[in-house]
Structure 1
Amino acid sequence: MSFHSCCLQGVKWDATPQGREENQGNQKYYVIGSNPHVAIMVIHDLYGWTFNNIRLLADQYADEVGATVYVPDFFGGTVLPADLIDNPADWVKLDLPNFMARNAKDVRKPEMIAFSQFLRSQHRRVGAIGFCYGGWAVFQLGAKTTDGSPPLVDCISTAHPTFLTNEEISNVGVPVQICAPEVDPQFTAELKAYTLAEIPKLGVPFEYQYFPGLVHGFAVKGNREDAAEMKGLQRAMRAAVGWFREWLVAA
């Protein structure tokens, strides 16, 4: 795995999340909302489950979708300091290869499956949305089953996914939404093209939204003081809210 500065750049949003922290066994998570029927799992980006922006997004989903929203820790208790976002000179000091080895797909996927199963035991409908690092994860959670069992989640959404593969794209088996910026070293032009060619063949509802002029990370770390980025992140928020209302609440 390799990272570009696009995974670290962005802006930290100023507001106070309104949810609470809880535990499921050894799994810590942030949660907001009280809907016993509908849940959304938010899978974080490189900054982890404590990042203010990701929790503010969870609050927004809880309010506008009317769901109970969870942000689990999928980095084993380690997070990158949020202040790094304001200090690009410090990015070269990070041992990201080691960090990502500890958080590789085969390491964290079992935790993600277990948390999805926990949500299934608590709620009738479950959705998942992943940003950057979380993008590959929602595709695996929404993968087709071969034994006739229900999928781990009922629908997925992602913005600027990282580490996504052709195989994961081809194996999705639930309604899928993608928000894709124009400039993205992780969700490349080749992956975009494969996605647009392949998913319509799979027989699942599919929504692809393209954001010209915007870059990787905009939906979770966009600059609210920049008119174009603000418009883009608001559009991505409305897209996700509408998607979950349709495939979780109305289903």
Structure 2
Amino acid sequence: MSCPDCFSGTQRTAQPQGKMIRLYGLDTYVAEPAPSSAPPKGIIVIIPDAFGLAFTNNKLLADTYAAKGGYLVYLPDFMLGHSAPAYMLDSMKIVLAPGNYLIKPYHIVRLALAFLPWLYHNRVSRSWPTVHAFFTSLAADQGRSQGYGGTATLPIGVAGFCWGGKHALLLTHQASHHGPTKKPLVDAVFTGHPSLLELPGDVERIKDVPVFFALAERDHRVKVPEHSGLIEGIVGAEDRDQRERGVVKVYGDCAHGFCVRADPWAVDAKRAEEAEEDAIRWFDEKLRR
């Protein structure tokens, strides 16, 4: 398996507080600010890691952005029911741990039987049209269809993790087909330990969308310092209008996947909380109306 860290970590046991709806043809988990709070500041769409819509951690992250940030948060099933099963986390722990030689072959086979279908159904060439179609519809509505803000529109942010990080960057390459301005499909991106990136091309093609790169110090996908330095050199340069194009932050002593699947007793959990706060601050700054 090319990236064990993509399928490692812990599933949380807390109960998500949102609801399921059908939105633009996809089953979607929705987290909303408390009814007593102000109207949503904007929309955040989570493009998740390999475990997708079914994974408790992804729903809890949506709840956090809604409760702490005051955002309307969508977690759509971009994988169309083909997300990685959560039991892969337990099997991966057994395979990576020392010992257990008698049962390791069983878990290796179990992982392969789950990973190969996931890879087939969720390769970028197959999943990208689904992601693009959702955001094209959302950009056309800009929140009006959900009744928030009357006739006003809501800015759109994207939080993409691991598998979702690639798609989040692809969205920054796209202009909306709606309206005379041809504005980008999204207004700001936060991506945690993205996978599948083509460097430097995926970063060089970012168009007028500020991007926060949350990178793990011990990531084998986007490596520190060679890849992080490359990205920072591209997004750290101001554009012709002297606007900030992006930020790169390296979170120390943690591995790929920390934003979503951190073990609660490890250093990764503190880094995950830090990344949650950074994401909310980033969206607060970049999604101002």
Q: TM-score, normalised by structure 2?
A: 0.80
Superposition deviation, residue 142 in structure 1: 1.5
Asked if residue 242 in structure 1 is aligned to residue 274 in structure 2, the reply is no
Long gaps (5+) in structure 1: none
Match of 1:117 among 129, 132, 136: 136
* Distance (whole Å) between structure 2 residues aligned to residue 150 and residue 91 of structure 1: 46
Q: Does 1:18 align with 2:17?
A: yes
- Tell me by how many angstroms 1:151 deviates: 0.5
1:79 paired residue number: 83
Code of the residue aligned with 2:197 in structure 1: it is L
Choose the corresponding residue for 1:186, options 221, 227, 247.
Answer: 221
- The answer for unaligned runs of 5 or more in structure 2 is 34-38, 96-106, 144-153
Distance 1:159 1:91 in 2: 27
| Deviation larger for 124-133 or 139-148 | 139-148
Matched, 1:224 2:224: no
User: How far off its partner does 1:3 sit?
Assistant: 3.0
How far residue 98 of structure 1 moved from its aligned partner, in angstroms, is 4.1
Q: Residue 146 of structure 1: CA displacement?
A: 9.9
Q: Map 1:1-251; keep pairs closer than 5 Å.
A: 3-33=2-32, 35=39, 38-88=42-92, 89=95, 90-93=107-110, 94-95=112-113, 96-120=115-139, 121-123=141-143, 124-143=154-173, 145=175, 149-166=182-199, 167-173=201-207, 174-189=209-224, 190-201=226-237, 203=239, 204-226=244-266, 228-248=267-287, 250-251=288-289
Task: Please say which of residues 25-34 and 229-238 is displaced more in the overlay.
Answer: 25-34
Identity of aligned residues (%): 28
CA distance in 2, matches of 1:74, 1:92: 26
Query: How has the CA–CA distance of structure 1 residues 30 and 141 changed in structure 2, closer, same or farther, with 3 Å as cutoff?
Result: same
Tell me the secondary structure at the aligned position of residue 87 of structure 1.
helix
Q: Is the 8 A contact 2:237 2:245 kept in 1?
A: no
- Aligned-residue Cα RMSD (Å) equals 2.0
Give the counterpart letter for 1:142 in structure 2.
T
Which deviates further from its counterpart, 3-12 or 139-148?
A: 139-148
- Divergent runs of 4+, >6 A: none
Over residues 12-52 of structure 1, what are the superposed CA-to-partner deviations in whole Å (9 max), with x where a residue is unaligned?
11210011111125311111116566100001101111100
Secondary structure of residue in 1 paired with 2:251 = strand
Instruction: Judge which range, 92-101 or 114-123, deviates more.
Output: 92-101
Question: Deviation string for 1:80-101 (max 9, x for gaps)?
Answer: 2213212224354324344223
* Kept in 2: contact 1:109–1:137 (CA 8 A): yes
- Which entry has the higher C-alpha Rg, 1 or 2? 2
Q: Is the 8 A contact 1:113 1:152 kept in 2?
A: no
For 1:135 and 1:38, locate their aligned partners in 2 and report how far apart those are by CA, in whole Å: 20
Query: How far off is 1:201 after superposition?
Result: 3.4
Higher alpha-carbon deviation: 186-195 or 37-46: 186-195
Q: Pick which of 157-166 and 189-198 moved more.
A: 189-198
The alignment covers a number of residue pairs equal to 248
More displaced stretch, 216-225 vs 135-144: 135-144
Once the 2 structures are TM-superposed, how far is the Cα of residue 140 of structure 1 from its aligned partner?
0.8
The secondary structure found in structure 2 opposite 1:157 is strand
Inter-partner Cα distance in structure 2 for 1:146 and 1:76: 24
Q: Distance in 2 between matches of 1:56 and 1:37?
A: 19
Deviation per CA, 1:117-154: give whole Å up to 9, x if none: 23221422100011110111111112264995111100
C-alpha separation in 2, matches of 1:208 and 1:186: 15
Of 85-94 and 119-128, deviating more is 85-94
CA contact (8 A) 2:176 2:183 kept: no
User: What amino acid is aligned across from residue 109 of structure 1 in structure 2?
Assistant: W
SS in 1 for 2:17: coil
